[in-house]
Amino acid sequence: MNRTSGRAKAALAASTLTLLLTAVLLAACGNGESTTATSNNVGEASSSQGGITDPATVSSDPVTDSGNPDEAVSSDGTSGASPSANTGITDPGTSTESPPVSGTGGGSPPASGEAQPDQAVATDPDSIAVLVNKQLGLPKDYEPKDLVYPDVTFTFKEKIEKRMMRKEAAEALEEMFAGAKKDGIYLAGVSGYRSYARQKALFESYVKKDGEEKAKTYSAVPGYSEHETGLAIDVSGSDGKCAAEDCFADTEEAAWIAKHAHEYGFIVRFPKGKEDITGYKYEAWHIRFVGKEIAKDIAERGITLEEYYNAIPVSK
């Protein structure tokens, strides 16, 4: 009887010990879960103070407050730039996929939140912001539909083809000539619009004179001339001296144009030091209408139209 009672007591003690150990283990597990949860809550609070958005509140729309769709919000709630679409002509300042433009001298990219270049207009021949250069040409039968004769002084009197420009550009030219006159600068037009046939005849004459390689440094192959857009014009002083010649760069008329042309929507299309980008030598007299907004942007950043669109550098 005493032996049986002792075994029962031992079994009871073992059972009690097992229950106590189980309770301790359960308590320990509960404390571990509670500690982990507390740690995560503290982490989220710290992150929100540091500018990292709570993932639970992030919208699926990858557009941030900056208005730039390239700055997408990632799935973990942090902000990061998404790759730009590979459209051939890419957004300056945001793209890392296109090769850098050589010999640019730096031009600063658009500030965050500013309007980015509309890539579609770069290849639209009817757009005032169309990009025409040695690589991007116009349709062979292209002819602007709104050509007019700007009411400004030219170095000749005949109302012929090269006196015309597209209407919007012509009106801007009139304003610019008037603005120059107020400053005591008297400008004259030298050569505006050219048809494909006219550009072809000119280019062939230059090739006969200087050879094709040299001709291509100052004249465009037909179909690839800005003059064919009706948006470009060569200008000079009203006396016609140094018209379309290198010496024009040293005139007060050229200095005024370099400083004020963008105020009227024009840019000096082939600036000094950018020959590797534009493909043409410096021409202080060749101005191109692109509209006031783009002209202002290009002037402030000291870039070319190629750099504005981040286009592939033009080879000579």
Q: What is the CATH number of the domain that holds 251?
A: 3.30.1380.10
Its domain, for residue 32, covers 2-51
Q: Are residues 19 and 161 in the same domain?
A: no
Taking the CA atoms of residue 105, residue 315, residue 236 and residue 195 in that order, the dihedral angle to the nearest 10 degrees is: -140
How many domains does the structure of the chain reveal?
A: 2
Specify whether 8 is located in the same domain as 144.
Answer: no
Pick from 41-50, 137-146, 262-271, 303-312: least confident:
41-50
Whether 129 maps to a domain, the answer reads: yes
**Whole-number pLDDT of residue 15:** 47
pLDDT given at position 30: 40
Q: Is 260 part of a structural domain of the chain?
A: yes
Whole-prediction pTM value? 0.66
Instruction: Find all residues with CB under 8 Å of 262, minimum gap 6, and list them.
Output: 292, 295, 296, 298, 299
Closest to 244 measured CA to CA, from 287, 286, 195: 286
Asked if 39 and 132 sit in the same domain, the reply is no
165 and 299, same domain (yes or no): yes
Considering the candidates 226, 283, 306, 307, report the single residue annotated as catalytic: 283
User: Which token pair is 275?
Assistant: 């020959």
Does 87 reside within a domain? no
CA dihedral 117, 119, 125, 131 (to 10 degrees): 60
User: Lowest-confidence range among 104-113, 143-152, 290-299?
Assistant: 104-113
Is residue 7 a part of any domain in this protein? yes
Non-local (6+) Cβ contacts of 196 within 8 A are 138, 140, 141, 142, 222, 223, 228
| Position 54 pLDDT exceeds 70 | no
Helix axis angle for 252-260 and 167-182, nearest 10°, is 120
- What one-letter code names the amino acid at 228? E
Residues 6+ apart with CB under 8 A from 227: 162, 191, 192, 193, 194, 199, 220, 233
pLDDT tens for 73-112 read 233 333 333 333 333 333 333 333 333 333 333 455 555 4
Residue 156 inside a domain? The answer is yes
Ranking 12-26, 137-151, 182-196, 252-266 by mean pLDDT, the lowest is 12-26
- Quick check: is 228 catalytic? no
